[in-house]
Amino acid sequence: MLGMDDRPDTDEHRRLLPHEAHGVRFISMGMLSSKETPVIWRGPMASRLVQQFFSGVVWGELDYLLVDLPPGTGDVQLTIAQTAALAGAVIVTTPQAVARTIAEKGLRMFQPVRVPVLGVIENMSSFACPHCGETTNIFSTGGGEEVAQDLGLPFLGGVPLDPRVVVAGDAGTPTVVRDPGTPAAVAFREIARKVALEVARSNQAERGGVAESVRVEGNAVVVRWHDGPEDRFGFEHLRNHCPCATCVDEWSGKRRSLTLLLPTNFAPKKLVPVGNYGVQIHWNDGHETGIYSHHLLRRLARQREEVTSPAG
């Protein structure tokens, strides 16, 4: 769609150098395989490739980094939410009633990982005739706006079907550049303006219950919250509350009976931030699969306060 689909070059550190056209740097999975080779990547392989796009591409200084995701919910979406501190997600739907269910699933997927959903876009909202310029509603109308209203999200706009978008994409020139006055181009610009506004609002919003920083200090893991003071957690206390599937039965939610033989110098080896919502702790006893969500850490702190506070 931007006129370049050849394999990107690499720098001296073997990092990918993104293509650039019309002031936009971009890269795609399709650029990493030949035109004759079908792209058949299972979940783990696709997830690793997405991580590579974040850490193994020389993006340079950007205003925004946009990730176009496949429909539905799955490994790739979860990997992105765990890999990067996302400013927000946008749900793209269609006028069909079945799209509402998909939009709701997308919203529910991003809520637990604390990714703000910035709003809803309706694709194929109408048909823009390239000859007379008239816009016709060929499907039901208002579906995207109803979904946004029901989900409590901003409606960012609708994009009409317009053959000129296809022609411009095949020519390698964005329709906002080639045909700036068409209904689709106008819609794209207005949607971009609204998304930028929602990102700014989200960044300024109250972030209660979110950790500003997590660090090791002495014999404790210290969590500084955006909306309050710090909490300190002893190493063994956190290890005993590890939420991973080895320590907690996924079906019942009950903690497994495990005998922990911790070394005398037991401590974290590494703290790895996980998206907007948690931290993965690599312990020096070899256990490193637990992702401690900010919600879990907040709950552990409250439980400790309830135990230590005098009875009223």
Asked if residue 224 and residue 124 are part of one domain, the reply reads: no
Asked if residue 200 and residue 90 are part of one domain, the reply reads: yes
Asked if residue 226 and residue 188 are part of one domain, the reply reads: no
Asked if residue 103 and residue 37 are part of one domain, the reply reads: no
Which residues span the domain enclosing 198?
Answer: 86-205
CA angle 32, 45, 99 (to 5 degrees): 90
Tell me, what CATH number does 127's domain have? 3.40.50.300
- Residue 107 contacts residue 91 (beta carbons within 8 Å): yes
Asked if residue 288 and residue 230 are part of one domain, the reply reads: yes
Tell me, what CATH number does 244's domain have? 3.30.2020.30
Q: Which of 58, 84, 110 is the last residue of a domain?
A: 84
Q: Is residue 101 part of a domain?
A: yes
Q: What mean pLDDT do residues 260-264 have? A: 82
Q: Is residue 312 part of a domain?
A: no
Q: What mean pLDDT do residues 155-165 have? A: 89
- Per-residue pLDDT band for 310 (boundaries 50, 70, 90) equals low
Q: What mean pLDDT do residues 102-121 have? A: 85
The reported pLDDT for the residue numbered 307 is 55
d(CA 19, CA 8): 7
The reported pLDDT for the residue numbered 195 is 95
Number of domains in the chain: 3
Write the pLDDT tens digit of every residue in 22-54. Answer: 989 998 877 877 666 666 666 677 777 888 888
Asked if residue 195 and residue 126 are part of one domain, the reply reads: yes
CA angle 164, 168, 171 (to 5 degrees): 140
Asked if residue 235 and residue 253 are part of one domain, the reply reads: yes
What sign does the CA torsion over 2, 122, 65, 105 have?
negative
Angle of the 143-151 helix axis to the 98-110 helix axis, nearest 10: 30
Asked if residue 59 and residue 6 are part of one domain, the reply reads: yes
Among the listed residues 123, 142, 136, the one whose alpha carbon sits nearest the alpha carbon of residue 71: 123
Is residue 205 pLDDT above 80, yes or no?
no
Asked if residue 199 and residue 134 are part of one domain, the reply reads: yes
Q: Is residue 68 part of a domain?
A: yes
Structure-token pair, residue 89: 């997600």
Asked if residue 182 and residue 272 are part of one domain, the reply reads: no
**DSSP output for 167-224:** HHHHTTS-HHHHSTTSHHHHHHHHHHHHHHHHHHHHHHS--TT-EEEEEEETTEEEEE
Q: Is residue 292 part of a domain?
A: yes
Residue 34's H or E segment, with its range, is none
